[in-house]
């Protein structure tokens, strides 16, 4: 890959995507050829569901791979390291780590021919800090000069460059907040030609792209095939598609021996959170019940049955993925005897029936995953009813009110989370958040105090030590359970070259992909 210039500040050094050859001789290193159309099917379309008005907005077509049409100030690569993208330098102004200066590349053009400047960055982030989940920490964004933007945060964040790489940090031409982004104009390698909301998006090469010589392809077509894996794979076999993104582990097994295709995988891509509500009357107010459930789950069985072994991984009840060097394995594996003992201490010597655990089939393996989980906890005397809910409206169903005093409580339910840096991942266990079950108390206070220390610590090794202490608190308190996760997979025709997958599926870039 013709990498952009990298800086060490904030870099994490994670294991990245790997390519598994499915037979035949690889020719990835031959001279690339310009031209051609890449047609791909996407099996995990964005649940925000664009309509005709928003069909070109980056927030609404994230699963069409936003790095096709737009760029951010930084990019997270396949190894989960951050790199410069539209920025050429990023520095905190002092050790408080709450004010960052971002110097921009000069001469970068939007698809409309306008040059990108700091005023576009300001307008974009005025929108993002109102709409984006990770950008709300930005309290002020200003243009210091034509090519220098300054970000002021509500607190120090030593990993702020990762925030600048989020798909909710896309740089758009300056416009009023009610219309910015709706025209689909970006700085990316391809410009949008047409959209059919929730069905397809057609893009053509942008000749003014700032990465000189790229992209190689003339045209890219993305087609939504959510929940239609077999139809998409039949389209691949029939020549309708060149690539199918986000196939499940069972399809990997079926296709891995076929010499016509390559499988690209990105390890440690996502995992599932079991929200453990701590509202009045919930059994999960008792830490012993949370600990017992965590110890009773046969995580290895989930990986073995739902993921076929190597395609999955065991979680540690934090939001960190196992390829992160800051990830600390749980000190105790499955311990049914200890789980029974904890339940007895909590007043349930003959076992316990928990509330219904709800889930949605956000990934193909989910039903199998939760059936294995349900069966495994029976060994500890835990009866766990499970119920699948429709994907449409699931987010609203599971979250409830953020203000618990209103009495509309969040559910004992699962959600999927993707691979991100520790600054984002570990913050998800904060008090006022549904994924922590609104965890509170002295241990939570200590956890957030450590988090604050990490966010003003420049050195990665020192942050790592702090993150280990935070994970130790999670092992003891179990505010949520993250039993296991999986890898991202795509299948492609062998004629498609230089296409790697990404742990963050929304960060895939097609700049250097070419068609033999």
Q: Retrieve residue 254's tokens.
A: 């079926």
State yes or no: pLDDT of 14 exceeds 70.
no
What does the pLDDT read at residue 404? 67
Distance CA 92, CA 33 (A): 41
Any residues with CB less than 8 A from the CB of 36 and at least 6 apart, and which? 216, 217, 218, 219, 514, 515
Q: Retrieve residue 116's tokens.
A: 């990108």
Phi, psi for 86 (deg, rounded to 5)? -80, -15
What's the chain's average pLDDT?
90
Q: Retrieve residue 128's tokens.
A: 């993002």
Q: Retrieve residue 241's tokens.
A: 């598609």
Distance CA 262, CA 265 (A): 10
Quick one: what percent of the chain has pLDDT higher than 90?
Answer: 74
Distance CA 207, CA 173 (A): 18
The dihedral built from the CA positions of residue 147, 153, 159 and 163, taken in this order, carries a sign that is: negative
pLDDT in tens, 45-101: 665 556 888 889 999 887 778 899 999 999 999 888 899 999 999 999 999 999 999
Residue 144 · residue 152 · CB < 8 Å = no
State yes or no: pLDDT of 474 exceeds 70.
yes
Q: Give the number of other Cβ atoms within 10 Å of residue 368's Cβ.
A: 16
- Local confidence band at 13 (pLDDT 50, 70, 90 cut-offs): very low
Phi, psi for 148 (deg, rounded to 5)? -135, 125
What does the pLDDT read at residue 10? 36
Q: Retrieve residue 334's tokens.
A: 């499955």
3-state secondary structure 151-169: EEECCCCCCHHHHCCCHHH
Stated length of the chain: 516
C-alpha distances out from residue 362 to 396, 419, 508, Å: 15, 16, 20
* Most confident region among 136-145, 227-236, 396-405 by mean pLDDT: 136-145
Residue 269 · residue 418 · CB < 8 Å = yes
Question: Lowest mean pLDDT: which of 20-34, 345-359, 388-402?
Answer: 20-34
Between 416 and 198, residue with greater pLDDT: 416
Predicted structure pTM score: 0.86
Distance CA 28, CA 496 (A): 9
The three-class DSSP label of residue 398 is helix
What does the pLDDT read at residue 4? 34
State yes or no: pLDDT of 143 exceeds 80.
yes
State yes or no: pLDDT of 396 exceeds 80.
yes
Distance of CA 114 to the CA centre of its chain: 31
Kindly list the structural domains of the chain, giving each domain's residue range(s) and its CATH number in brackets, ordered by start: 12-69+188-260+494-516 (3.40.190.10), 71-181 (3.90.76.10), 269-486 (3.10.105.10)
Residue 213 · residue 229 · CB < 8 Å = no
User: What do you get for the CA distance between the two ends of the chain, in Å?
Assistant: 17
Phi, psi for 452 (deg, rounded to 5)? -60, -40
State yes or no: pLDDT of 2 exceeds 50.
no
The enclosing H or E element of 417 equals: strand 414-418
Distance CA 218, CA 205 (A): 5
Q: β-strands 219-224, 37-42: how paired? A: parallel
Residue 153 · residue 163 · CB < 8 Å = no
65 burial type by CB count under 10 A (0-12 exposed, 13-18 middle, 19+ buried): buried
Which phi-psi region, left, alpha or beta, contains residue 498 (left: φ > 0; alpha: ψ -120 to 50)? left
- Local confidence band at 24 (pLDDT 50, 70, 90 cut-offs): very low
Per-residue b or e along 268-290, where b marks 16 or more CB atoms closer than 10 Å to that residue's CB: bbbbbbbbbbbeeebbbebbbbb
State yes or no: pLDDT of 435 exceeds 90.
yes
Distance CA 486, CA 321 (A): 10
Q: Which residues pair with 83 in a beta bridge?
A: 75
Distance CA 236, CA 491 (A): 9
Distance CA 227, CA 392 (A): 12
What does the pLDDT read at residue 466? 98
3-state secondary structure 171-190: CCCCCCCCCCCCCCCCCCCE
Distance CA 143, CA 29 (A): 42
State yes or no: pLDDT of 6 exceeds 50.
no
Query: Based on C-alpha coordinates, what's the Rg of the chain?
Result: 23
- Local confidence band at 1 (pLDDT 50, 70, 90 cut-offs): very low
State yes or no: pLDDT of 405 exceeds 80.
no
- Local confidence band at 432 (pLDDT 50, 70, 90 cut-offs): confident
Residue range 489-510: mean pLDDT, rounded: 92
Q: Which residues pair with 91 in a beta bridge?
A: 101
Residue 65 · residue 117 · CB < 8 Å = no
What does the pLDDT read at residue 3? 33
pLDDT in tens, 270-303: 999 999 999 999 999 999 999 999 999 999 999 9
Q: Retrieve residue 142's tokens.
A: 């200003």
Phi, psi for 346 (deg, rounded to 5)? -80, 0
What does the pLDDT read at residue 28? 52
The residue behind tokens 């909590």 is 346
What does the pLDDT read at residue 384? 98
pLDDT in tens, 149-183: 999 999 999 999 999 999 999 999 999 999 999 99
């Amino acid at each position: 890959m013709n990498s952009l210039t990298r800086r060490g500040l904030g870099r994490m050094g994670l294991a990245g995507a790997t390519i598994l050859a499915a037979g035949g001789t690889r020719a990835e290193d031959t001279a690339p050829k310009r031209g051609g159309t890449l047609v791909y099917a996407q099996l995990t379309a964005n649940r925000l569901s664009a309509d005709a008005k928003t069909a070109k907005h980056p927030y609404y077509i994230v699963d069409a791979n936003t790095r096709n049409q737009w760029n951010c100030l930084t990019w997270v690569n396949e190894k989960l390291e951050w790199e410069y993208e539209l920025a050429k330098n990023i520095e905190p102004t002092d050790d408080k780590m709450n004010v960052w200066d971002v110097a921009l590349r000069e001469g970068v053009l939007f698809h409309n021919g306008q040059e990108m400047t700091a005023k576009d960055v300001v307008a974009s982030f005025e929108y993002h800090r109102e709409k984006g989940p990770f950008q709300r920490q930005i309290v002020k964004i200003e243009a210091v000069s034509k090519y220098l933007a300054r970000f002021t945060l509500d607190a120090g964040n030593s990993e702020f460059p990762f925030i600048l790489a989020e798909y909710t940090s896309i740089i758009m031409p300056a416009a009023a907040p009610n219309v910015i982004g709706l025209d689909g104009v970006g700085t990316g390698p391809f410009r949008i030609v047409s959209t059919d909301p929730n069905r397809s998006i057609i893009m053509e090469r942008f000749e003014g792209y700032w990465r000189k010589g790229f992209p190689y392809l003339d045209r890219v077509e993305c087609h939504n095939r959510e929940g239609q894996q077999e139809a998409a794979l039949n389209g691949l076999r029939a020549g309708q598609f060149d690539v199918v993104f986000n196939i499940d582990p069972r399809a990997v097994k079926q296709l891995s021996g076929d010499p016509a295709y390559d499988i690209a995988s990105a390890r440690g891509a996502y995992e599932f959170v079991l929200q453990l509500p701590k509202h009045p009357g919930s059994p999960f107010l008792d830490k012993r019940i949370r600990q017992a459930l965590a110890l009773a789950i046969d995580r290895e069985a989930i990986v073995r049955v739902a993921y076929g072994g190597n395609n999955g991984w065991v979680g540690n009840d934090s939001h960190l993925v196992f390829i992160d060097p800051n990830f600390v394995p749980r000190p105790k594996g499955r311990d049914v005897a200890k789980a029974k003992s904890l339940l007895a201490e909590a007043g349930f010597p003959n076992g316990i029936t928990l509330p219904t655990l709800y889930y949605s089939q956000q990934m193909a393996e989910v039903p199998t995953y939760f059936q294995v989980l349900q069966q495994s906890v029976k060994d500890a005397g835990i009866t766990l009813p499970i119920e699948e809910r429709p994907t449409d409206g699931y987010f609203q169903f599971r979250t409830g009110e953020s203000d618990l005093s209103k009495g509309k409580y969040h559910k004992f339910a699962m959600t999927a989370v993707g691979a991100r840096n520790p600054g984002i991942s570990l913050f998800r266990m904060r008090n006022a958040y549904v994924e922590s079950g609104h965890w509170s108390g002295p241990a939570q206070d200590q956890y957030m105090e450590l988090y604050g220390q990490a966010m003003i610590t420049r050195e990665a090794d020192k942050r790592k030590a702090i993150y280990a202490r935070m994970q130790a608190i999670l092992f003891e308190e179990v505010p949520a359970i993250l039993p296991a996760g999986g890898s991202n997979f795509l299948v492609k025709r062998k004629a498609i070259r230089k296409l790697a997958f990404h742990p963050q599926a929304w960060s895939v870039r097609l700049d250097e992909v070419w068609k033999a």
